[in-house]
Amino acid sequence: MSTAELHWKSGLEIAALVRGKALSPVEVTEALLARIDALNPRLNAFCLVCADVASAAAKEAEIAVMKGEPLGPLHGVPFSAKDILYTRGIRTTGGSRLFADLIPEHDTISVLRLRAGRAVLLGKTNTSEFGHKAMTDNPMFGVTKNPWNLDLTPGGSSGGAAAAVASGLGPLALGTDGGGSVRIPAAFCGIYGFKPSYGRVPQYPGFPGWERLSHVGPITRTVRDAAAMLDVIGGTDDRDRESLPGPGGSYLAACENDVRGLHVAWTPDLGYARVDPAVLAVCEDAAAEFDALGCHVEVVNPGWENPEDAFATIVAAQFWAAWGGQIATAEKQMDETLAKFVQRGEAVTARDYLAAWATVEAFWQEVRTFLERFDLLLSPTVAVPPFAAPGRPPRDVAGARVSVLGWMPFTYPFNLTGQPVASVPAGVTEDGLPVGLQIVGQRHADATVLAASAGWEAIRPWSERRPTL
């Protein structure tokens, strides 16, 4: 097998070859480390490559195969972890100069479970500082580039993870999503991103902020790879008292479920968003194709109020609680936008914070009632195509001025509700930039979202569409 072929193998393909002794974990790890060495200087997807740790883990995985030991579903498969996620014995900075020397004593639970199953950690991927914005740059490691156009952002804050996967620097990546940070970069990089139900993947230990909003989720080139990752990293852990028990079945097996007869709602704007015409055209075409899966598709206007103010209030207050005490001495070390955001949180009163959560509760009741009629809700993932990096997000969309989060109006609402949501590649714009379609499920219906994603992948496969680097 050629080295070029190894770069683009899915995680499940690698696992099957390793189990059959047709591929050595050492061989695939060495091939990917070499590709990272060649391409990462241009992409800046990885902020830390732990070659020695990866090589040692690959050798241990190979020895286990040769000894005939029981093998996990992702045994010997390389993966990366966003630099927000704690990694035992490996530097974890959160993209912040404040933690430039932090070496955690424990893995985040999702990382621990993958490493315990003998998946091979390649390194840490770049993020915005503490994941505070949906782009990927920080004062410590700089700007991550979109592999489809190096002048553009891959989105964020899991942009390093998405750029790595899209570029063949590893088949599996762990990201975090507090307001769209898995789905936005998946959409901008033309790959698959899955935000599980809140609590589906335990979160401990880690940096403060994003309480009750953040989800750990997979970023992959195929739906089944994401499902296989969820089988490994999902399930309750008492260290996270909000974690959910397993569903009693395999998420990978759920990808085979028949989606014919599902009732699917398509909304171009959630009733309040502005959408770039090029994005809208691609997503409308994609949503119509769900008829080909045997789904009943209906165009809807949910009529919801935009929850942006409540979301921004909650996050600002949490960031002030986490980092406000350090502003006086550390502001100059922080990303300018993070410092301003933290300072905004100082003005949020307890009454404001509780009122924002009351707004979220009312919003959830609207969403819940609406989805009693539908199994899935489709929308664009992001309202705009990838834009320039470094820089600021667009404030004008489809000829109108929008709010600060007006370019990403479809993602953060479902961090507030905690529902499972995926972004699948919907197609490309006329100038070849990826566009994502968002698939929202009912509460705890992770398996249904994965099944619909797999069905879409079957009729509109995307894994052979690769950036030229």
Q: Express each pLDDT in 67-83 by its tens digit.
A: 999 999 999 999 999 99
Phi, psi of 234 (to 5 degrees): -80, 170
Catalytic residues: 82, 157, 181
State yes or no: pLDDT of 51 exceeds 90: yes
Q: What is the pLDDT of residue 2?
A: 79
For the stretch 348-403, pLDDT in tens is 999 999 999 999 999 999 999 999 999 999 999 999 999 999 989 999 999 999 99
> How large is the average pLDDT for residues 35-56?
98
Using CB atoms within 10 A of its CB, is residue 364 exposed (0-12), middle (13-18) or buried (19+)?
Answer: middle
Distance CA 415, CA 195 (A): 9
**446-459 vs 223-233: helix crossing angle, rounded to 10:** 160
> How large is the average pLDDT for residues 104-113?
98
For 3-309+348-459, CATH number? 3.90.1300.10
What is the average pLDDT value for the chain, to the nearest integer? Answer: 97
Q: What is the pLDDT of residue 4?
A: 77
Distance CA 158, CA 171 (A): 15
For the stretch 225-262, pLDDT in tens is 999 999 999 999 999 999 999 888 999 999 999 999 99
For the stretch 390-399, pLDDT in tens is 989 999 999 9
For the stretch 156-203, pLDDT in tens is 999 999 999 999 999 999 999 999 999 999 999 999 999 999 999 999
State yes or no: pLDDT of 417 exceeds 90: yes
Q: What is the pLDDT of residue 145?
A: 98
Structure tokens at 157: 């804050």
For the stretch 294-335, pLDDT in tens is 999 999 999 999 999 999 999 999 999 999 999 989 999 999
State yes or no: pLDDT of 1 exceeds 80: no
Q: DSSP per residue over 339-398, as a string?
A: HHHHHHHHT--HHHHHHHHHHHHHHHHHHHHHTTS-SEEEEESSSS---BSSS---SEET
Per-residue confidence at 3, pLDDT binned at 50, 70, 90? confident
Distance CA 18, CA 16 (A): 5
Q: What is the pLDDT of residue 384?
A: 98
State yes or no: pLDDT of 278 exceeds 90: yes
How many other β-carbons are positioned within 10 Å of the β-carbon of residue 469? 16
For the stretch 14-27, pLDDT in tens is 999 999 999 999 99
Domain locations along the chain: 3-309+348-459
> How large is the average pLDDT for residues 108-137?
98
Q: What is the pTM of this model?
A: 0.98
